[in-house]
Amino acid sequence: MQYRNLPNVNSVLENDAIQEIVSVYKREWILELVRETIDQARKSIAEGNECPTVLDIIETIKSKVAFLSVQAPRQVINATGVIIHTNLGRSPLSHQATEAAVAASAGYSDLEFDLANGKRGSRQYHLQFLLREITGAEASLVVNNNASALLLGLSALSNGKEVIVSRGEAVEIGGGFRVPEVMEQSGAVLRDVGTTNRTYVRDYANAMCAETGVFLKAHASNFKVEGFTAEVSISELVDLGRVNDIPVIHDVGSGALLDTAKYGLAHEPMPQESITSGAGLVMFSGDKLLGGPQSGIISGDRLLVEKLSRHPLARAIRIDKMSLASLTATLMHYLKGEAESEIPIWKMISADQDQIRFRAQKWQNCVQVNTEIVPSKSAVGGGSLPGETLNSWSLAIDGESVLGGAESLMTRLRENVPPIIARIEDDKVILDPRTVMDNEEDTLIDGLRRCAI
């Protein structure tokens, strides 16, 4: 009996609300959604549920269309205080880097065309010069991310050979990415030496054999081992490799081109330091502390870089034109000495605490519920500087003073347009101005007025 109450496809399709949708989207697609929704209703009835009404079915279809029609990923306001927030897209780009990406994609470009001679060119050509000036490397190659960079390096230099790495550096980072598994995919054979907490240069020396292809040193970007520890410096490893004609790959992780110690943080390994120490290849991300788009940068010895660039995998993981353009613009900020003023994450890291507190007070004056300005900690995030924080000030909204409590307020903030992402501590909703862009402030205040009720 329940099945008889199910509307047929045509009756739903001819509904005025569905016809409005058909006027915007392809009729074939909407027809398929109608059939799919009615089929789901039929299955629900078979499971003992009530037959949905025509209005229920129409609302389901409208919800599906609305969900699929949303621009993704959506822009959000990051008020968490986590500067490089992996779940929120890591490093925001500078205005110049964004404009460069748009310009590269809105029309044609000289991506692989040499304007001087009218022949085919290389998309890596300009970046080579920029990275040489910034890192001091003889040559560079840019791919789509740092995991790809490591995969390419091992595939080109140690396929079928052993890669010697400290046991404490054969790590897993975000998303289940594991160094040993990358080695396996590259065809290299893992030879881990030392112990989890202590490795010496003699461990590498004792493990060397005729099958050794590479020494690998990987920076533990997202955790720290403290206490009874010892690790081999890149200089020591380079010296051992040079004597035995074994190249050294150094994965420094986050691509810190500025000294993080200047800002009261622990010192993060810098690509320039590894190049100066003589590492054959230095690999780092473009979208973490470098502050650019997703990319993996390989800098170092010219002959080694050329070997990687000729490997078949290099084409499969090459950087796209939009990322290439925005990375170029980001690197220009370093050449101009304007990273702190133009690259968003460095503006956040170097932000003045008094100015942060002033912004939090400005937000406080715009809401009518119980709030206070509290000292807080901002994290660098993004698998960079684990455990390191920056002193900050935040607006704390008392959960007991808002409709439905702290969790309900968090839901309303996420449903705001654009969504506002905050955090909860001790039943208080915490919003840290450090990670809110200047041009987002008015939008955030409007959202707080609507949501904090």
Measure Cα distances from 301 to 99, 160, 249, 443 in Å. 32, 22, 11, 48
| Residue 240 · residue 205 · CB < 8 Å | yes
Tens of pLDDT, residues 45-58: 888 888 888 888 99
Q: How high is the mean pLDDT of the chain? A: 92
Q: Is the domain of 360 the same as that of 321?
A: no
β-bridge mates for residue 421, sequence order: 78
Q: What is the pTM of this model?
A: 0.90
Q: Is the domain of 167 the same as that of 279?
A: yes
Q: Is the domain of 190 the same as that of 329?
A: yes
Q: Is the domain of 331 the same as that of 375?
A: no
Asked which of 342, 360, 389 is the last residue of a domain, the reply is 342
User: Using CA atoms, how far apart are residues 291 and 426, in angstroms rounded to an integer?
Assistant: 32
Pairing of strands 296-300, 139-143: antiparallel
Question: Could you tell me which residue, 7 or 318, shows the higher pLDDT?
Answer: 318
User: Using CA atoms, how far apart are residues 270 and 223, in angstroms rounded to an integer?
Assistant: 17
Measure Cα distances from 112 to 120, 126, 218 in Å. 6, 11, 33
| Residue 384 · residue 252 · CB < 8 Å | no
Of the candidates 80, 105, 142, the one whose C-alpha atom is nearest the C-alpha of residue 296 is 142
- pLDDT of 228 strictly over 80: no
Positive/negative CA dihedral, 445, 348, 105, 332: positive
- pLDDT of 207 strictly over 70: yes
Asked which of 293, 312, 342 is the last residue of a domain, the reply is 342
User: Using CA atoms, how far apart are residues 394 and 443, in angstroms rounded to an integer?
Assistant: 17
CB atoms within 10 A of CB 97: 27
Single-letter residue type at 445: I
- Exposure pattern of 30-56 as b/e (b: 16+ CB <10 Å)? bbebbeebbeebeeebeeeeebbeeee
User: Using CA atoms, how far apart are residues 83 and 279, in angstroms rounded to an integer?
Assistant: 30
Helix (H) or strand (E) run with residue 155 in it? helix 146-158
Q: Is the domain of 12 the same as that of 63?
A: yes
User: Using CA atoms, how far apart are residues 232 and 202, in angstroms rounded to an integer?
Assistant: 9
Per-residue pLDDT, 187: 84
Confidence band (pLDDT; 50, 70, 90) for 222? low
Per-residue pLDDT, 224: 67
| Residue 319 · residue 327 · CB < 8 Å | yes
Confidence band (pLDDT; 50, 70, 90) for 197? confident
- Total count of domains within the chain: 3
Tens of pLDDT, residues 396-445: 999 999 999 999 999 999 999 999 999 999 999 999 999 999 999 999 99
Q: Is the domain of 364 the same as that of 410?
A: yes
Of the candidates 145, 188, 180, 134, the one whose C-alpha atom is nearest the C-alpha of residue 382 is 145
Per-residue pLDDT, 386: 80
Q: Is the domain of 108 the same as that of 163?
A: yes
- pLDDT of 178 strictly over 80: no
User: Using CA atoms, how far apart are residues 192 and 164, in angstroms rounded to an integer?
Assistant: 6
Domain enclosing residue 386, as ranges = 77-86+346-451
Domain containing residue 377: CATH number: 3.90.1150.180
Confidence band (pLDDT; 50, 70, 90) for 230? confident
Question: Could you tell me which residue, 397 or 3, shows the higher pLDDT?
Answer: 397
Q: CB burial class (10 A; 0-12, 13-18, 19+) of residue 203?
A: middle
Domain containing residue 311: CATH number: 3.40.640.10
Q: Is the domain of 62 the same as that of 107?
A: no
Phi then psi dihedrals of residue 148, to 5 deg: -65, -35
Single-letter residue type at 161: K
Q: Is the domain of 296 the same as that of 416?
A: no
Per-residue pLDDT, 173: 61
Per-residue pLDDT, 175: 57
Phi then psi dihedrals of residue 196, to 5 deg: -60, -35
3-state class of 190 per DSSP? strand
Phi then psi dihedrals of residue 371, to 5 deg: -140, 165
Q: Is the domain of 366 the same as that of 293?
A: no
- pLDDT of 382 strictly over 90: no
Tens of pLDDT, residues 106-139: 999 999 999 999 999 999 999 999 999 999 999 9
> What average pLDDT does this structure show over 333-361?
97
Which DSSP string do the residues of 336-387 spell out, in sequence order? Answer: TT-HHHHSHHHHHHT--HHHHHHHHHHHHTT--S-EEEEEEEEEEETTSSTT
> What average pLDDT does this structure show over 255-271?
95
Asked which of 298, 317, 342 is the last residue of a domain, the reply is 342
Per-residue pLDDT, 179: 72
Of the chain, the percentage scoring pLDDT greater than 70 comes to 97
Q: Is the domain of 207 the same as that of 103?
A: yes
Q: Is the domain of 400 the same as that of 293?
A: no
- pLDDT of 227 strictly over 80: no
Measure Cα distances from 415 to 73, 151, 371, 450 in Å. 15, 40, 21, 11
